[in-house]
């Protein structure tokens, strides 16, 4: 059994481009600014962590675990947008965009941002998020394909 993905709709691509531009600016600021988030917004992550631990009872959640979860979450849109923006004939490349982008970010941090810590763990977490995003977009798109497409009506039918 084979399936084909439905063709991309121009409006979907336009919306994805409109979302991508501010998202990529946000991602660049988040990952390539000289100071990490925990230094730029002191207390923010502590407040989130305290809320999740005390308010939601997630005592297992540590700062390191929260950082991994955040890295995964912030890259989910990367995979989704890559899947939507790439032409259908090369859609599997959407699964490579996240790891490549994350590797480029970590290399830039290592080369040009001594205040930041580049790490393989970040690449793995970011890649996981992007892979989840691409898989989610693929599943949603595949579900949009009708199981039994209706035949097109013809004008010559009696």
**Cβ distance 74 to 125 under 8 Å?**
no
pTM for this entry:
0.86
Six-digit token pair at 95?
Answer: 């699964």
CA 143/CA 5 separation, integer angstroms? 9
CA 65/CA 125 separation, integer angstroms? 11
- Write down the pLDDT at residue 1: 45
- Write down the pLDDT at residue 44: 85
**Is pLDDT at 2 greater than 70 in this prediction?**
no
Q: Which residue has the higher pLDDT, 2 or 101?
A: 101
CA 20/CA 100 separation, integer angstroms? 17
């Amino acid at each position: 059994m084979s399936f084909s993905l439905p063709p991309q709709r121009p409006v979907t691509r336009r919306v994805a481009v409109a979302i991508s531009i501010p998202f990529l600016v946000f991602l660049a600021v988040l990952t390539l600014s000289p100071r990490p988030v925990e230094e730029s917004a002191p207390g923010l992550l502590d407040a989130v962590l305290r809320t999740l631990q005390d308010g939601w009872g997630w005592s297992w959640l540590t700062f390191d675990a929260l950082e991994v979860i955040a890295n995964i979450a912030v890259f989910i849109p990367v995979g989704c947008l890559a899947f939507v923006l790439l032409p259908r004939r090369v859609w599997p490349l959407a699964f490579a965009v996240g790891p490549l982008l994350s590797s480029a970010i970590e290399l830039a941090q290592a080369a040009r941002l001594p205040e930041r810590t580049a790490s393989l763990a970040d690449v793995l977490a970011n890649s996981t998020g992007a892979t989840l995003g691409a898989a989610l977009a693929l599943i949603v798109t595949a579900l949009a394909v009708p199981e039994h497409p209706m035949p097109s009506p013809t004008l010559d039918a009696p």
